[in-house]
Structure formats: structure tokens, C-alpha cells
Amino acid sequence: MEKTKVLFVCLGNICRSPAAESIFLKMINEKGIDDQFIVDSAGTGSWHVGKKADSRMRSTAKQRGINIKSIARQINRNDFDQFDFIVTMDNSNFNNVCNFKSRESSNSNIKIIKIQSFAYLFKKYDEVPDPYFGGDDGFENVLDILEDSVGGFLKSISQF
């Protein structure tokens, strides 16, 4: 059985996308379906490549039982051939990923989507806000939003 491959993308790959990746991993693990997926995260920017996720995000997530282990990397042209879904955190990164794909890949099967398209409880948010320059409550808010929308994505993935 071929695995479903999902890549979560934000700007620097140290807050939102590693949190989304880890939430998704936790959800599929709890459902006992983690062997059916390959999951990763990346950033559109290169500032944090090789670094762990933001310590504030790791700490806030850990309090919810979410273990963020990923190391930041930048999206690359191979990602468009390796993944089935590229799931973006905001409109800017959605546009950047779409533009990058149009320049670098002819793969017409890849689905580039916005995570907030799958929100149930947090529909008022068109994007997942970047908590990097804010306080601790911003990280809590992002995790609330992502738990909702990542759960919605997982529920709807069968319709693709």
C-alpha cells in the first residue's frame, strides 16, 4: 500500500509548520494509522535551516503532549515530486509555494492547500498567525487553531 505523503509549510519552519507536523503525527499515531503516512515540514525561507523548532513552541506544545522533534529545512523542488499534499499555514506561503512549483515542477498531481480550509472551530482565521514576535499566548492560540484545522485535514484527506 502506498503511503500518503504530507508536507506542512510556513515561513521559517520553526513555529507553525513543525507544530502542524507534530500534531498530525500525534493524531495518526493515536488512530494507529501512522504507518500509512510520511510526514514532514519545511519553510519557504532559509533563515532557520538546521535549527530546532522555536523553544517557546516546543515548550507550549509539550504541555499538550505534543513532541516537536523536527529540524528546520527549506522547501525544495524535490518536495513537489515526493509529496502528495503541501499544506500551507498562510496566504503568503501558499502563494510562494504555488509560484515556486510553477517555476520548478511540472507535477500536476501535487495538491497545494491552505490548512485553514479545514478549520471547524476556528473558521474566523483565514490564516494561522505567526506567533514568533508575540507572547506566549500566541503560541497557545496557534496550537488551538492547528489542532482544529489539522484534525479537519486528517478527516477530509480521504476525499482527495
- Active-site pick, 40, 79, 130, 148: 130
Catalytic residue from among 15, 16, 54, 79: 16
Q: Active site residue: 10, 54, 90, 148, which one?
A: 10
Instruction: Tell me whether residue 10 is one of the annotated catalytic residues.
Output: yes
Cα–Cα distance between 80 and 22 in angstroms, integer? 21
64 is catalytic: no
| CA atoms of 3 and 53, how far apart (whole Å) | 26
Distance CA 145, CA 160 (A): 22
**Is 98 marked active-site?**
no
* Contacts for 135 with CB less than 8 Å, ≥ 6 apart: none
Residues with a catalytic annotation lie at: 10, 16, 130
